[in-house]
Amino acid sequence: MLKKGTTLGIFFLLSIAVISCDGEAESNNNNNNNGVRLMPVETVTIEQGDFEDFIRLTGTVEALEDATISAEVSGRILSISNRGDRVPRGGVIARLDDRVIQAQFDAAKTGYELAEDTFNRLEALYADSIISTQDFRSARAQRDQAKAQLSQAEKMLQDSNIEAPFNGRIEDRMVRTGELINPGMPVVRLVNTSRVRVVAGIPDRFAGEIGEGSEVEIRIRALGGDVIESRVSHAGNVIDPDTRTFTVEVELDNPEERIKPDMVVDLRVKRSTLTDVIIIPRTAVLRDEEGVSVFRSAESDGRKVAELVEVRTGLASGALIQIVEGIELGDEVVVSGMRTLSAGDELNVIANESNLERAERLRAADRPVASF
């Protein structure tokens, strides 16, 4: 019968043996027969392609037609549209009590008719030299003055009905039926959102690259992130001294009125398009105190091994970056698994495609298909 101390010693030795076996098995899984680590990676084969350089901005939505409609004459409100009512251009938004204005119009019309008749009679007498030139000119002046007073009264009578200057929807109402209003007093806010504009600020350093007609992709956060393609419709010529930006506007049709004023919008504005360049995923680029580098596949005794090469980068946009120097056409570059990779490790390439195919998939992931 074994003693307790002997039993514990045997158990300890067996545990060490099991751990040793597990460690040896793990080592065999990560190393090949030559003692070199075999690392699973994904690679791309380098081809030349086009590279679109975008800048990312945040903007807001504004209605193209948004106005506070005010009264032009005094009067008491007889009727007024409610919030939510749609009013066509020229449609009546509010009606004022026009009895006083109507009386003024009638008096002005009578005065003008009398002055016109007097002028016509005196004109015939003046032609026969029966009256003096002074009397004729006085009659003509009275006729013209009466005509001006009639026009003024007619305009006031017309303004007693407050009309919509454009098609729109009543979003706010500042007065109620029965209230007495004066000229200049706000009555309603009229908004037309069938067409809107997106407004954003472009840093002044891009003034020579972005202008009217520049391509832009718009993603409205509140609507699920779908993308709308458009172009810059207006680019300002004035720099805001506080933000060092100039304003750009993008006009959008909005027939269903899903896009609403003051919504937050993400924009990608195209700076330029480079042709026949080398692009790879940003994640493939390693940066440290010594510089910028990537892992490239190199041949060694019929095996693919990792080679760390220095590169020089160019423009970057989204998930892609341009490589200006360091890799060439036909090179195989590691784009996944490089974080645990060391120079000299053998590569177990589990997936390979061209860099252009990879770039297209990254663009598709960064840019959903528009549903508008």
Which pTM value belongs to this model?
A: 0.67
Residue 7 has pLDDT above 80, yes or no: no
- The more confidently predicted of residues 239 and 8 is 239
- The more confidently predicted of residues 84 and 14 is 84
pLDDT of the residue at 238: 93
Edge to edge, the sheet with strand 75-80 lists 161-163, 92-96, 75-80, 180-181
Q: With bands split at pLDDT 50, 70 and 90, how would you rate the model's confidence at 188?
A: very high
Average pLDDT, the chain: 87
- Which class for 41: exposed (0-12), middle (13-18), buried (19 or more C-beta within 10 A)? buried
Burial pattern 111-138, b for ≥16 Cβ within 10 A else e, equals bbeebeebbeebeeebeeeebeeeebee
pLDDT of the residue at 209: 87
Distance between alpha carbon 79 and the CA centroid of its chain, in Å?
40
Distance between alpha carbon 258 and the CA centroid of its chain, in Å?
15
Residue 187 has pLDDT above 60, yes or no: yes
* CA-closest candidate to residue 180, choices 97, 244, 109: 97
Q: With bands split at pLDDT 50, 70 and 90, how would you rate the model's confidence at 367?
A: low
pLDDT of the residue at 365: 74
The CATH fold of domain 98-159: Helix Hairpins (1.10.287)
**Who contacts 326 (Cβ-Cβ below 8 Å, separation ≥6)?**
293, 294, 309, 310, 311, 312
Over residues 202-227, the mean pLDDT reads 88
CA distance 254 to 269: 21
| pLDDT tens track for 10-67 | 444 444 444 444 444 444 445 655 667 899 999 999 999 988 888 889 999 999 999 9
CA distance 351 to 154: 82
Report the length, in residues, of the chain.
Answer: 372
**Who contacts 207 (Cβ-Cβ below 8 Å, separation ≥6)?**
239, 246
- Cβ(273)–Cβ(224) under 8 Å? no
Over residues 131-148, the mean pLDDT reads 93
Q: Which of 44-48, 50-54, 130-134, 283-287 has the weakest average pLDDT? A: 50-54
- Cβ(178)–Cβ(77) under 8 Å? yes
CA distance 190 to 69: 7
Q: With bands split at pLDDT 50, 70 and 90, how would you rate the model's confidence at 244?
A: very high
pLDDT of the residue at 157: 92
- The more confidently predicted of residues 208 and 115 is 115
CA distance 338 to 122: 104
* CA-closest candidate to residue 174, choices 73, 71, 92: 71
CATH, domain range 55-64+192-272: 2.40.30.170
Q: With bands split at pLDDT 50, 70 and 90, how would you rate the model's confidence at 338?
A: confident
CATH, domain range 35-52+275-366: 2.40.420.20
75: left (phi over 0), alpha (psi -120 to 50) or beta: left
Q: By three-state DSSP, how is residue 56 classified?
A: strand
Q: Where are the domains positioned within the chain? A: 35-52+275-366, 55-64+192-272, 98-159
What percent of the chain has pLDDT above 70? Answer: 88
Residue 102 has pLDDT above 80, yes or no: yes
| pLDDT tens track for 310-332 | 999 988 887 889 999 999 999 99
Over residues 196-223, the mean pLDDT reads 91
Over residues 103-118, the mean pLDDT reads 94
> How many CB atoms neighbour CB 367 within 10 A?
16
pLDDT of the residue at 366: 65
CA distance 41 to 334: 7
* CA-closest candidate to residue 293, choices 282, 301, 285: 285
pLDDT of the residue at 239: 94
Q: Which neighbouring-strand residues pair with 42?
A: 336, 351
